[in-house]
Structure formats: C-alpha cells, structure tokens
C-alpha cells in the first residue's frame, strides 16, 4: 500500500512551504484568535486538499514551474477546509479532532465560531486578490456548499427514509465540492481548456466522494485512536451515512433503534452490531471504489508526469484505507 508521505513526495517541499505560510497568513491581531489559528495549523492534518491542488497545478504545467497563484490557491483551500472543521466541531460538540482537543474545547464556543469566521473571511480576502473572477466564483460556491451541507445534515438527523442519493448530495456539499472546485481552479490558473477544466472538476468530485464514503466506513471499523475522535460518533449524533443506509434495507429493527434515537441502554451498541452484521460496509466499500475509479478516468488526458501518476495512485490510496 502506498503511504500518504510517499504519494505526496512530488509536492512534499510545496506542502512544507504551505504549512509555514498558513501560520503567517492567519497572523490575527487578536491574540486569542491567533492562538486558535496557530493551534489549528500546528496539528498535522492529512493536507490532502492542498496536496491535490498542488499536484494538479504541477500536472497541468509539466514543462514550467507552478506560479505563486497556484500556491495561494492551495493555502486558501486548506483555510476553507479548516474553517469548516472548526464550525463542524462546534455543531457536533466534538471534543477531539485528529486526536487533539478541538478549538472550542480548548477555548470556548464563542472563540471557535469567531476563529472559523475569521478563517473564512481571510480565505475570501486572499481569494479576491487572485484577480481571477472564475476562480473566485468557484471557491465562493464552495463556502455556500459547506453551509448547505451542514444544514442538510442537521435537518436529516435520525431520518431513516434518507436515500443514498441524498446522502451523496450532502457528501458533495460537505466534502467533495471543495476538492472538485479547487481542482478545476488549479487547472484554470494553468490556462487549461474548458474541457480539461471540467474533467479536473469531475476528478475532484469523485475522489472527494470516495474519501467521504471511506471516512464513513472507518467510523464503524476504525478505533478511537486511529480516527482521532470517538468511533461511531456520526451514528450516535443521528448522521446516517452509507453503511447505515445500506444496512437499513436488511435489518428492519435498526430503523426502530434509530427512530427512538438510541434512547434505551444498549441501543447504540445494538445498532452498530446490526450494521456490522449486514452487507452495509461492503456495499459502501464498492461505492467508494466506484467513485475512485471514475475519478481516475477523468485525468487520463493529462500528459504523463510524476504528479499525474500521484493523482492516479491517490484513487488506490483512498480505498486502501479501509483494508
């Protein structure tokens, strides 16, 4: 299995520079906001989103060095992602993120909301300074999509009638939109054709959906230590993901447990057992593999390069996380 470090080796130096720059970019005047932002960017996250932006930037400019706007786009992408995580953690009342205390548990909800708002505002300002209207439109849409996804998730808590299609739509808003639109934006900054820009969008959309489905599988198969947050936390909060939705078709009593919101002792544990006994996890795995394969099909027209190869291998890496 290709490790993430090996996979992103082509842009390793770019990612180190990105991490250093992020801490400078969020140099807030208010010391508590600065402390919150510094905490966020000192936590070693996966950095998958900016890595994809940098890989696409290099893959679409194989004979030239990437431009400063590519690097700034990668930084903006990570800022938007991080801002959304801060707000998600407040809404979900999560105490841990990536194995370390969340901003609101370290400080308080007020600081966490303001820190998230601050990062969104900073990313919007830097986005405007790219002086590329099409890219501004793409990333502005992402910020709207993130809010839409959070609203949909809140409205659909414990809703056993939720379809896989609705789940994928919510997953697009919450996860795949950022990867899809930043992938397309990277191509536009390289001056690619409209056709290739659309293929890059579809690559990002499908790789993003595959990532989210895999994360939702790991919520049932991973440990608290490996997840960096409590296992089965989505199910407990009423966020019904692919494994649960597939399992509902096979295990009728699961609907009863969810409808009463795990009110009785042992309900949650019984629900997890029913999901694990069903083919829900296997069907979710097949869905993730499908989206990863579709993603790779959309970058085949890129010229051969190490960066293109890394983007292809990312499809395998995404699904290898569940084995």
Backbone phi, then psi, for 96, in 5-degree steps?
-125, 145
- Render the burial of 157-190: b for 16+ CB within 10 Å, e for the rest: ebeeebeeeebbebbbbbbbbbbbbbbbbbbbbb
Q: What is the pLDDT of residue 225?
A: 54
Q: What is the pLDDT of residue 28?
A: 56
Residue 109 CA: distances (Å) to CA of 92, 93, 250: 12, 9, 40
Per-residue pLDDT of 176-200, as tens digits, reads 999 999 999 999 999 999 999 999 9
Confidence class for position 37, pLDDT limits 50, 70, 90: low
Over range 150-163, report the average pLDDT.
Answer: 95
Per-residue pLDDT of 117-147, as tens digits, reads 888 998 999 999 999 999 999 999 999 999 9
Q: What is the pLDDT of residue 157?
A: 96
pLDDT at 1 over 70: no
Q: What one-character-per-residue DSSP string does 121-138 give?
A: HHHHHHHHTT--HHHHHH
Per-residue pLDDT of 250-291, as tens digits, reads 999 999 999 999 999 999 999 999 999 999 999 999 999 999
């Amino acid at each position: 299995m290709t490790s993430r470090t090996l996979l992103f080796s082509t842009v390793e130096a770019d990612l180190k520079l990105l991490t250093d720059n992020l801490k400078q970019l969020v140099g807030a005047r208010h010391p508590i906001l600065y402390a919150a932002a510094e905490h966020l960017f000192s936590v070693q996250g996966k950095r998958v989103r900016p890595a994809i932006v940098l890989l696409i930037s290099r893959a679409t400019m194989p004979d030239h060095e990437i431009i400063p706007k590519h690097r700034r786009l990668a930084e903006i992408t990570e800022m938007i992602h991080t801002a959304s995580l801060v707000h998600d953690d407040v809404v979900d009342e999560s105490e841990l993120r990536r194995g370390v205390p969340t901003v609101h548990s370290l400080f308080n909800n007020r600081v966490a909301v303001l820190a998230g708002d601050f990062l969104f505002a900073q990313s919007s300002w830097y986005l405007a300074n790219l002086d590329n209207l099409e890219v501004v439109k793409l990333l502005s849409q992402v910020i709207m999509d993130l809010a839409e996804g959070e609203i949909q998730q809140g409205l659909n808590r414990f809703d056993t009638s939720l379809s896989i299609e609705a789940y994928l739509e919510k997953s697009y808003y919450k996860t795949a939109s950022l990867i899809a639109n930043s992938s397309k934006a990277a191509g536009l900054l390289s001056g690619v054709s409209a056709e290739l820009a659309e293929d890059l969008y579809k690559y990002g959309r499908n790789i993003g959906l595959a990532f989210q489905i895999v994360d939702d599988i790991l919520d049932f198969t991973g440990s608290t230590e490996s997840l960096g947050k409590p296992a089965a936390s989505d199910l407990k909060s009423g966020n019904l993901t692919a494994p649960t939705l597939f399992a509902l078709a096979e295990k009728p009593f699961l609907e009863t447990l969810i409808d009463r919101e795990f009110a009785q002792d042992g309900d949650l544990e019984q629900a997890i057992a029913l999901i694990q006994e069903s083919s829900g996890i296997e069907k979710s795995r097949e869905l993730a593999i499908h989206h990863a394969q579709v993603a790779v099909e959309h970058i085949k027209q890129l010229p051969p390069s190490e960066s293109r190869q890394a983007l292809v291998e990312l499809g395998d890496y995404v699904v290898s996380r569940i084995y």
